[in-house]
């Protein structure tokens, strides 16, 4: 019987990034020699920081979607220490990195990003997903310069006319109705918020700064006043049709905002776009990252080797030592409570193998739905989504939790989040 996917199936090549509770490295799958990015999250830290649900939510969403302009999940697995997500490797860097490198993006280059992200958002909307964190940090370029959306850590699913209500996202990119919902309640918000964030992102990538001067320290009340009093200043040198389209995306009233592929296709600025060619990546990118360098902060590699207390390259020896130590000590200890939570995470974590799924599909052996987790789920947990703090680029995310009904709640305040207010 073939061994279940695990850490040993991959060779670790180098560290390339980190977030608030996850780190990313480049890996190579030993049997196929294919390259991927691997995000790994320490279980104990996730429990202590109340972030287990964020990981479970992201995995649950990514296992059910696949699109040419997303960073797609290929495998998920776990060991005693960590949870792992293996995804598409995009070597072109994120748009934030290139802005920090003072890249001057042309209108034509950004127009392609706009079209590619339009197709990505249209797909997510068809899957009932609100991303809630569209920003330059979460748009990665491949080696040809095409854009891919990543980080579904605070995404949520709404169906059948539902509305989201949590204060979730990165403040400078959050739509006015998110703040309005938080301040005065009301009907909440839906997919339109992602299109506002896309407008802010496109403006920033073109101009070098955002349309509104918003920071994490701004109060929600002050932002509500800002949106009602401050007008966006567009660059006079931009094409008038581009400005018109950005106005449609940055419309404060979501009912009048462009928020679909159909809307975008009516924009004069995009009238010459061959959308099939965009989808097939036949449109030449206006900016192609330098293939001779790795587009990330080189200090990540040094931190992993020098500062990391549990480096990946020493994992095998460390786990063997831990197992030996666990077998020799009294099972009753001050860490029993944490151990109970770790066991719940172990049980509810869902293993995924897209390679195996695709092989089954090609062989015509797929029967019904729900086999995406390769029949190897270690638990059928269906944790409800909530908005939590996510990895930040330039600003801190602010979030509010939503209701929960998972076995994770058995761990009380360590594993579960408080109910929504």
Name the one residue in this structure whose structure tokens are 């036949």. Answer: 282
Round to whole Å and give the CA distance between 172 and 136: 12
Secondary structure letter of residue 397 according to DSSP = B
Q: Among residues 82, 94, 122, 133, which one is catalytic? A: 133
Give CA–CA dist 110/408, Å, rounded: 43
Q: Which helix (H) or strand (E) covers residue 95, if one does?
A: helix 95-100
Q: For residue 186, give Cα distances in angstroms to 177, 181, 221, 328.
A: 10, 6, 16, 57
> Is 133 an active-site residue?
yes
The residue among 239, 220, 229, 234 whose CA lies nearest residue 178 is: 220
- Which residues, listed in sequence order, are joined to residue 27 by a DSSP beta bridge? 12, 36
Question: How many whole angstroms separate alpha carbon 36 and alpha carbon 280?
Answer: 21
Distance between CA atoms of 205 and 136, rounded to whole angstroms? Answer: 7
Separation of alpha carbons 183 and 224, rounded Å: 9
> Would you put residue 375 in left (φ > 0), alpha (ψ -120 to 50) or beta?
left
Distance of CA 328 to the CA centre of its chain: 41
Positions marked active-site: 133
């Amino acid at each position: 019987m073939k061994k279940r996917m695990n850490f040993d199936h991959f060779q670790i090549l180098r560290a390339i990034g980190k977030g608030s509770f996850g780190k990313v490295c480049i890996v190579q799958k030993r049997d196929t020699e294919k390259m991927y990015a691997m995000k790994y999250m320490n279980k104990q830290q996730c429990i202590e920081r109340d972030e287990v649900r964020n990981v479970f939510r992201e995995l649950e969403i990514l296992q059910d979607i696949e699109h040419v302009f997303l960073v797609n999940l290929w495998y998920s697995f776990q060991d005693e220490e960590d949870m792992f997500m293996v995804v598409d490797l995009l070597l072109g860097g994120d748009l934030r990195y290139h802005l920090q490198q003072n890249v001057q993006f042309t209108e034509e280059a950004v127009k392609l990003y706009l079209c590619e992200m339009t197709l990505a958002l249209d797909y997510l909307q068809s899957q009932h997903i609100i991303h809630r964190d569209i920003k330059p940090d979460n748009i990665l370029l491949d080696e040809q310069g095409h854009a891919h959306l990543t980080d579904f850590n605070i995404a949520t699913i709404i169906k059948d006319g539902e509305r989201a209500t949590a204060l979730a996202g990165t403040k400078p990119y959050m739509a006015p109705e998110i703040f309005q919902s938080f301040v005065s309640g009301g009907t909440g918000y839906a997919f339109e918020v992602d299109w506002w964030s896309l407008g802010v992102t496109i403006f920033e990538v073109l101009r070098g700064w955002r349309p509104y001067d918003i920071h994490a320290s701004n109060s929600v009340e002050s932002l509500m006043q800002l949106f009602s009093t401050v007008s966006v200043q567009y660059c006079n040198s931009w094409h008038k049709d581009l400005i018109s389209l950005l106005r449609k995306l940055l419309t404060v009233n979501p009912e009048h905002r462009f928020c679909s592929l159909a809307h975008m296709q009516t924009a004069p600025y995009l009238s010459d776009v061959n959308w099939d060619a965009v989808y097939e990546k036949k449109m030449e990118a206006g900016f192609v990252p330098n293939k001779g360098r790795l587009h990330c902060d080189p200090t990540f590699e040094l931190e992993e080797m020098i500062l990391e207390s549990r480096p990946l390259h020493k994992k095998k020896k460390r786990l063997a030592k831990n197992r030996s130590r666990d077998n020799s000590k009294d099972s009753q200890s001050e860490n029993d409570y944490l151990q109970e939570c770790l066991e719940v995470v172990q049980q509810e974590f869902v293993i995924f193998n897209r390679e195996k799924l695709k092989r089954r599909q090609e062989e015509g052996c797929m029967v019904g739905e729900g086999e995406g987790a390769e029949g190897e789920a270690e638990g059928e947990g269906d944790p409800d989504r909530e908005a939590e703090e996510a990895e930040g680029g330039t600003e801190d995310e602010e979030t509010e939790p939503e209701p929960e009904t998972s076995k994770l709640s058995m761990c009380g305040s360590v594993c579960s989040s408080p109910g929504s207010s």
